[in-house]
Structure 1
Amino acid sequence: MNARSAQRRKRRLPKILLFLALLAVVAIILIVVLVVVLLQPGPPRLPIGPDDTTSEPRQRPDAQSADCPDVLTLVIPGTWESAADDDPYTPTANPQSLMLRVSGAIADQYPQSRTSVYTVPYVAQFRNPTNLGDRQRDYDFSRSQGYKRAAGKMIQTNRDCPLTRYVIMGFSQGAVIAGDLASNIGNGRGVLDPADQDLVLGVGLIADGRRQPGEQNDIGPSPSGVGAEVALAGMGRLVPGITMTGPRDGGFGELRDRVQSICAAGDLICDSPTVTNPIRAVSQLAGAINNPVHAMYATTDYWSLDGASATQWMYGWADQVIADAPRPAHY
């Protein structure tokens, strides 16, 4: 009997291992499909601008041109919420853009001399690789364009207006771009000179696809999951046009305490299960298919703090940061 039982167990073992492997594959496929169906984010690190940390930091002047705002509020919309040719000062590509609820209120609150609100125009698309008829630009192109345009605006502003401060905000794909921008600045990898890191007053992220709990100020009810790009880091470049870049190298560096992150439980863009436990991952993903949390941050349905939605909280935070910002002299 014992010998027969041992043989049966031996025959069963390959089947069990095959079953677990299949579950892992299913979990990966489900995550990829859901990341496509939801508004996926995640730019690679693209250092732009001064990155020679050995050079002498430039001396700041005592005053700057009257054309320069005290604060540049840099806003990066999410997938399908912008366009490459959109007007950065009066964006109309998507009137339902989540970030417009924040940036529009800020623009109404302050004169342009106090803060110039610049909404980064970029293609903001995410081609579904499983749909041969999808003619959108792929994710890698979109996030690269968004990053370069956001970084380029900061570089130009810093060159022309050396005393201007910055508030950076983004949602979904825009949150990944904004987070990558903050990570590179905070770790001295370009955009601003390391001596100018203090010019960044704050960074606000909603549904960051490279989120890691504890790497920033996690606001309100904060889930324990990680961003989709972190959860799927092992896939790397497995799917053409959708590079899973993993966690940010060095986190947010010197900007860590100035980064505010909002993520609703169950939003697979910022609260993904890892694939190390395929059974749990499949269970979580199956339950999330009919729960479109990612699109509901303007409501209190899935995330709220003291009765405020994510967009209301972000506006209140940005409003306070801008109100408290220094007022440089002008000539």
Structure 2
Amino acid sequence: MRVRRWVSALAAGILTAGTVSVLSAPAAIADPADCPELYVLAIPGTWENSADGQVPGMLSYPTSGLGSETRVQLVGYNATAFPWETGGSIYGKSKAQAVANAEGLAITMTNRCPGTKIAVIGYSQGADAAGDFAAEVGTRRGVIKPSQFAGAVLISDPRRTKKDALIGPKLTGEGNGGPRQGGFGWVSDRTFTICEPGDQYCNIPRDYYVSRIAGYLAETSDPNPDQLGQYQAEAWAIVSELVTRGGPGALVNELSNEKARAQIIAFNRFLQSGSHGDYARFQVEPGVTALQWAQNYLAGLA
């Protein structure tokens, strides 16, 4: 009887302690009432600046009409490529500024509104920056966790690879800036790339080494020490492919007047074609343009 009473008393104590613990547990703190469900960071392309804070140029349509639960934020940055531009900086420094500004906005929002998910969309240089942002999140080097990341749309990404989730027709080339080593990691299933087949920024033939070297130099024009491994990997890939295709003689041929001239002519045709700015008409699915697809995707994340 004594043992039974002792067990009963112990059980009652446990239940009482459990009840007290439950009753005294702190209540979950809700996000402020004005927190959006989805926070979309829009990074425009080179020279697509905005004086009024509105999303300019190519991204204005896909970031409009996304619903009351979504807030769109323009990511301001120099958006320049050459140091002689007014207020300009070299491409690498301009892109790094875009990535840093996007990260600052993301961490400020998630600190205040932990339940808000972050999405990003970028075009051209902005897609380059948006892709780097997504890659850092996906490889757990970013300022937010993969679980806080809703998705990304990269339009004309100079670092597009064949491994990326492509929306639209299959392509034979890749971006002229070289790949992101490690890809998008944990957010690969939420990061989509769109490239018009004639757009040489995101679809350059692999044997256009002059163009690839130019893209490599742009990417490394303001080197980030954290990405040293990526720079080395791309440089080695270019050299390795040249050697594999015919040893040192292949490099000489690649830089010959005839081969270089052919690439310059092709690039001029690309610029004249307007394909880099044709995403409002380029159909990724029957009856669905690239910008419509991007808008639909973002609208479905909230």
Give the residue type in structure 2 aligned to 1:123.
N
- Residues 281 and 293 of structure 1: CA distance in aligned 2, closer, same or farther (over 3 Å): farther
Question: What does 1:9-48 correspond to in 2, within 5 Å?
Answer: none
- Residues 116 and 134 of structure 1: CA distance in aligned 2, closer, same or farther (over 3 Å): closer
Once residues 172 and 123 of structure 2 are traced to their aligned partners in structure 1, the CA distance between those partners, rounded to angstroms, is: 19
Work out whether residues 273 and 284 of structure 1, in 8 Å CA contact, stay in contact via their aligned partners in 2.
no
Q: CA deviation at 1:299?
A: 1.3
Match of 1:289 among 264, 268, 272: 268
When the two structures are superposed, what TM-score results if normalisation uses the length of structure 1?
0.63
SS, match of residue 289 in structure 1: helix
1:8-33 CA distance string (max 9 Å, x none): xxxxxxxxxxxxxxxxxxxxxxxxxx
Corresponding residue for 1:74? 41
The CA RMSD over aligned residues, in Å, is 2.1
Match of 1:105 among 51, 57, 65: 65
Unpaired stretches in structure 2, ≥5 consecutive residues:
1-27, 210-241, 246-253
Q: Percent identity?
A: 33
- Residues 191 and 80 of structure 1: CA distance in aligned 2, closer, same or farther (over 3 Å): same
Give the residue type in structure 1 aligned to 2:276.
H
Give the residue type in structure 2 aligned to 1:105.
G
SS, match of residue 161 in structure 2: coil
Q: CA deviation at 1:188?
A: 0.7
Unpaired stretches in structure 1, ≥5 consecutive residues:
1-60, 231-246, 323-331
1:212-262 CA distance string (max 9 Å, x none): 112x311121312111111xxxxxxxxxxxxxxxx2121001001111110
- Residues 203 and 280 of structure 1: CA distance in aligned 2, closer, same or farther (over 3 Å): farther
Corresponding residue for 2:197? 265
Q: CA deviation at 1:283?
A: 4.2
Per chain length, whose mean CA-contact separation is higher, i.e. which structure has more relative contact order (CA < 8 Å, sep 6+)? 1
1:176-225 CA distance string (max 9 Å, x none): 11100000010010211xxx3122111111000111112x3111213121
Question: What does 1:136-147 correspond to in 2, within 5 Å?
Answer: 136-147=88-99
Once residues 134 and 153 of structure 1 are traced to their aligned partners in structure 2, the CA distance between those partners, rounded to angstroms, is: 26
Once residues 282 and 156 of structure 1 are traced to their aligned partners in structure 2, the CA distance between those partners, rounded to angstroms, is: 49
Once residues 213 and 299 of structure 1 are traced to their aligned partners in structure 2, the CA distance between those partners, rounded to angstroms, is: 23
Question: What does 1:136-285 correspond to in 2, within 5 Å?
Answer: 136-192=88-144, 196-214=145-163, 216-230=164-178, 247-274=179-206, 275=209, 276=242, 278=254, 283=262
Q: CA deviation at 1:82?
A: 2.0
Once residues 156 and 309 of structure 1 are traced to their aligned partners in structure 2, the CA distance between those partners, rounded to angstroms, is: 33
Give the residue type in structure 1 aligned to 2:41.
L
Larger Rg: 2
Q: CA deviation at 1:273?
A: 2.0
Work out whether residues 299 and 310 of structure 1, in 8 Å CA contact, stay in contact via their aligned partners in 2.
yes
Once residues 147 and 162 of structure 2 are traced to their aligned partners in structure 1, the CA distance between those partners, rounded to angstroms, is: 24
1:90-148 CA distance string (max 9 Å, x none): 34xx4xx0000111232xxx12xx11110111111111x7xxx6443221221121111
- Residues 164 and 252 of structure 1: CA distance in aligned 2, closer, same or farther (over 3 Å): same
Work out whether residues 167 and 284 of structure 2, in 8 Å CA contact, stay in contact via their aligned partners in 1.
no
Once residues 316 and 258 of structure 1 are traced to their aligned partners in structure 2, the CA distance between those partners, rounded to angstroms, is: 14
Q: CA deviation at 1:288?
A: 4.1
- Residues 282 and 226 of structure 1: CA distance in aligned 2, closer, same or farther (over 3 Å): farther
Once residues 306 and 282 of structure 1 are traced to their aligned partners in structure 2, the CA distance between those partners, rounded to angstroms, is: 37
When the two structures are superposed, what TM-score results if normalisation uses the length of structure 2?
0.69
Select the structure that is richer in helix.
2
Once residues 280 and 298 of structure 1 are traced to their aligned partners in structure 2, the CA distance between those partners, rounded to angstroms, is: 33
